[in-house]
Each structure stands twice: as structure tokens, then as C-alpha cells.
Structure 1
Amino acid sequence: MRKVVSRDGTTIAYDAIGEGPPIVLLNGSFRDHTIFDALVPEIAPHCTVYVYDRRGRGESGDAPTYTVDREIEDLQAVIDEAGGQAVVFAGSSGANLALRAAVAGTTITKLALHEPYFRVEGFPQPPADFAQQLDALLAAGRPGAAAEYFLAELVGFSPELIAEWRNGPLWATNEANAHTLPYDTAVCGDFKVPVQALAGYRTPALVLNSDNTSDWLRAAAVATAKALPSGWGLQLPGSWHRIQTDILGRVLVGFATT
């Protein structure tokens, strides 16, 4: 992978694939750039696709302390490598990060989001001490327990589904990246759609959700689209927290190139 140095000196690993207008893909919790391995070939014939490992994951570096501002600077560093401006597509907690970056003035030309991690009114909220409990589990050297806690209290998984994930092929990656879960928690803020902060954001924004996702994720997508003055929502075929890759690719290409 290529490397770029973020403003605080942290090395961020990225790749650029394809030709055409640049689009940066930004992942959510647990994963690195490889989450987009199936999506990149759908987009690369039409756009230059930039994927990168968020700090603390994959081939990217990290810093002794974390702030959301540093992650925003990482995204801007990748956009700078793409020519200084780019479309951004972000999912899950990555969508929360992308929104914060957009409001902070990152040079995003268009913003596409997939099911950001907001909890709208009428749905259970994460515990008030969610961040503290997560930190305590990690400090105790229990990354698996931290991953389980995140999935149960934020994502809303049942014990049975968590057990199924524990026995799946990706659980080792979940534990390996569990130390970054406080980063994803920080970018989510108070887990409420930042209506006032988004009121002045006029960049075109597309907010996507799957037709088979959780009710709280669907509600979060709808509320986010409503809060964006130049935003609109779109429901696409898929499964829980996932849109069919070929369809998602076509939508993103159309959004990025028109």
C-alpha cells in the first residue's frame, strides 16, 4: 500500500485503484480497507477509488492518544492525495466520522453515507457509561469482551447472534481491532443526529439504507437525510447493514460521476 503522513505525523496506508473522478471509501468499526474488496471492482472502471486503513488498523500507524480531529485530518490527507477534493462514501460509524469531517470543512465534493450509528428517539440508547465500560474492558486485556459489549450495547445484537459471530471467520479480526472501538465510540458523540450542526451543510449528500436492516439503523438513515439541507435518502436491496454490492456500486458511480 502507499503511505501518506497525516498532520500529527501518523502514517496512513492507502491504495488508489482505477481511473476517473476520485471517490474515497471510509469504513466503520472493526474493519480496515479490505471490507471494500468486493465493492472496489464495481466502481474502479468509472472512478479512481481510494481506500485506506484508519489509524490503529491494518498497515496504518497510530498515536499515543486519540482525538476525532486527528481522524478528520487522516481523511483530509487521503483526499489531498486524490487531488485535494473527492466524493466520500462512508458506512456505519465511518459515516458518523465523515459527517463530522464534512462539517469541519474537509474538502468533500459529495457525501454518500450508509446507515450511520445514530439512535433516534423511540429506540434504546447505549448506556450512559458506554465509553467508560468499553475502556475498562480493554484496559483489563479483554478485547473479546470489549467487542461483545460493543455489539450488544451499541449495535443491538442478541446473545445468540454474538455467539454466532464469535464462531465465525472474522472474530479474530474483531478482537485484533477491538482497541479501536473507543475511536468509533468517540466519533459517534452522543449518538444523536447533530441537526443543528448539519443545518448549514449544503454539499450534496446521499444517505442509504438496506431494505432488510435493523429498524434503528433505518430510522437513523432517514433522520440523517432529513437533517441535511441538500440530502436525500434511498433504500436499496440488501441484508442487515449491507447493500447488495453490485447495486451499491452502480449507485455510487452514478452519484460520483453526475
Structure 2
Amino acid sequence: MHKVVSRDGTTIAYVKEGEGPPLVLLGGGFRDHTVFTPIVPYLNPHVTTYCYDRRGRGESGDAPTWALEREIEDLVAVINEAGGEAAVFGGSSGAILALEAAMAGAPITRLALLEPPYRMPGHQKPPPDFAENLDALLRQDRRGDAAELFLEQVAGLSAEAIATWRTSPLWSSNEALAHTLAYDTAICGDGQLPVDRLAKLDIPVLIVASDSTADWLRAAAHATTEALPKGRLTTLPGVWHRVPPEHIGPAIADFVLED
């Protein structure tokens, strides 16, 4: 993997592949750069992908304290490696991070986002003490319990769905990255859609939603699109909070290559 040093001295690792305009990809909760391995073959004939490990994940470093500004600086460091400006794709909490970076003035030319998990009125929200309880579990190194708490109270999954998730091959990596759930929790904040700030974001934004996602995620996708001056929503075949690579890959490539 390639390495770049972020502004605070943290090393950020990334994989560069393909030909064409640059596209930086950043994942959400539980994920490092390998989440994009299946989608990269659909992108690389058209764009150059920069898939990176957010701080605290994979081969990237971390710092004693976390701040949203540091994650934005990490993204900017990768964009600088890509030539100084780039399109960005973000999924889930990574979508909110990408929006926050763009609203903070990061050199992003356009955004493609998978279901940014804002919390719209009338839909579920995590309990007020969620972040405190998550931190308590992480301090005790109860990583599995922390992951389950996140899946139940943030993702809204049933006990049966969580039990199935625990038996999947991904569970060990979920536990390994559980400490970064605190970062994603902070990125999402109170979950409110920042309508006034989004209204000032004057770049093209593609919001992607799965046709089989949760109602609250679908509502958030629609509301985010409506809040953006140049927002566009596309609904693609998929499952809960995920669109398969063969559907989302071409949609992102077409969007990045638009005049």
C-alpha cells in the first residue's frame, strides 16, 4: 500500500489502481479499504481509484484523541496524492464524513454517496446514552458487545439479524475495528440533516439508495437529495444499506465522467 502523512502526523495508507480521473473512496462503520475490493474492477477501466484506510483501521495509524477535523485532513491528504482535487465516494457514515469535508472546503469536485444515515423526524434514533454506553464497553475491551450495541441501537437490526451477522466471516474484522465505531458515532452526531449548510454546497452530488433498504435510510436519502442544490437521487437494486458492485460501480463511474 502507498502511504501519506496527514497534517497531524498520522500515516494514512491507500491503494491506487486504474486509469482516468481520480476517485477517492472512503468507507463507513466496521470497514477498511478492503470493502471496496469488489467494486474496483467496475471502476478502474474508467477512473483511477484511491481506496484508503481511515485512521485507526487497517494499515493506517491513529492518534490519542479523535476529531472530525483530523479525518477531513486525512481525506484531503489522499486527495492531494491524487493531484489536488478529486471526486469522492462515501458510504454510510463515510458519506456524512465526505459531505462534512466538502462543506469545510476540501478540494472535492463531486460526491457520490450511499445512503448517508441522517435521522429524519418520525424515524428511529439511537438512545441519548448510546455514545456513553459504547465508550464504556470499549474501555472494557468488550468489542463484540460494542459491535452488537451499534448494530442494535444505531443500525436498527433485529436480534435475529445480529445473530446472523455474528456468524458471518466478517465478524472478526468487525470486532477488530469496533474501537472506530466511536469515531463514526461522533461523525453522525445528533443525526440531524444540516439543511442550511447543505444548501451552500455547490457541487454535483449523486445519492444512491438501495431499493430494499430500511425506511429510515430511504427517507434520509430523499431528504439529503432535496437539501442539495445539485443533488440527484438514484435507486438501484440491492439489500439493506448495500447495493451490489455490478449496479453501483457503473453508476458511480458514469457520474464521475459526466461533463
User: What is the match of residue 143 of structure 1?
Assistant: 143
- One-letter code aligned to 2:136: A
User: What is the match of residue 171 of structure 1?
Assistant: 171
User: What is the match of residue 183 of structure 1?
Assistant: 183
Let me know the Cα RMSD of the aligned residues: 0.7
- Give me the whole-angstrom Cα distance separating, in 2, the residues matched to 1:129 and 1:99: 26
1:74-99 deviation digits (Å, cap 9, x = unpaired): 00000000000000011011001011
User: What is the match of residue 239 of structure 1?
Assistant: 239
Would you identify which runs of 4 or more consecutive aligned residues in structure 1 move more than 6 Å?
A: none
Instruction: Report the Cα offset of residue 238 of structure 1.
Output: 1.0
Q: What is the SS of the residue equivalent to 1:242?
A: coil
Q: What is the SS of the residue equivalent to 1:180?
A: helix
The range that moved more, 121-130 or 151-160, is 121-130
Residue 119 of structure 2 corresponds to residue 119 of structure 1: yes
TM-score normalised by structure 1 residue count: 0.99
The range that moved more, 62-71 or 233-242, is 233-242
Matches within 5 A, 1:219-230: 219-230=219-230
Residue 169 of structure 2 corresponds to residue 196 of structure 1: no
- One-letter code aligned to 2:161: L
Matches within 5 A, 1:156-167: 156-167=156-167
- Give me the whole-angstrom Cα distance separating, in 2, the residues matched to 1:188 and 1:124: 14
Q: What is the SS of the residue equivalent to 2:3?
A: strand
User: What is the match of residue 5 of structure 2?
Assistant: 5
Query: Unaligned 5+ residue runs, structure 2?
Result: none
Residue 33 of structure 2 corresponds to residue 27 of structure 1: no
User: What is the match of residue 56 of structure 1?
Assistant: 56
- Give me the whole-angstrom Cα distance separating, in 2, the residues matched to 1:46 and 1:164: 36
- Give me the whole-angstrom Cα distance separating, in 1, the residues matched to 2:246 and 2:148: 31
Q: What is the SS of the residue equivalent to 1:55?
A: coil
- Give me the whole-angstrom Cα distance separating, in 2, the residues matched to 1:183 and 1:221: 22
Count of residues paired in the alignment? 258
- One-letter code aligned to 1:153: Q
1:144-181 deviation digits (Å, cap 9, x = unpaired): 10000000000001111111111111110110000000
Q: What is the SS of the residue equivalent to 2:181?
A: helix
- Give me the whole-angstrom Cα distance separating, in 2, the residues matched to 1:156 and 1:118: 13
User: What is the match of residue 153 of structure 2?
Assistant: 153
- Give me the whole-angstrom Cα distance separating, in 2, the residues matched to 1:34 and 1:178: 16
* Percent identical residues: 60
Instruction: Report the Cα offset of residue 244 of structure 1.
Output: 2.4
Residue 246 of structure 2 corresponds to residue 253 of structure 1: no
User: What is the match of residue 96 of structure 1?
Assistant: 96
- Give me the whole-angstrom Cα distance separating, in 2, the residues matched to 1:153 and 1:89: 26
Q: What is the SS of the residue equivalent to 1:161?
A: helix
Q: What is the SS of the residue equivalent to 1:12?
A: strand
1:38-60 deviation digits (Å, cap 9, x = unpaired): 10010001110110000000000
- One-letter code aligned to 1:77: A
- One-letter code aligned to 1:241: H
Q: What is the SS of the residue equivalent to 2:192?
A: coil
1:22-67 deviation digits (Å, cap 9, x = unpaired): 0011100001000000100100011101100000000000000000
User: What is the match of residue 72 of structure 2?
Assistant: 72
Instruction: Report the Cα offset of residue 141 of structure 1.
Output: 1.6
- One-letter code aligned to 1:185: T
Q: What is the SS of the residue equivalent to 1:243?
A: coil
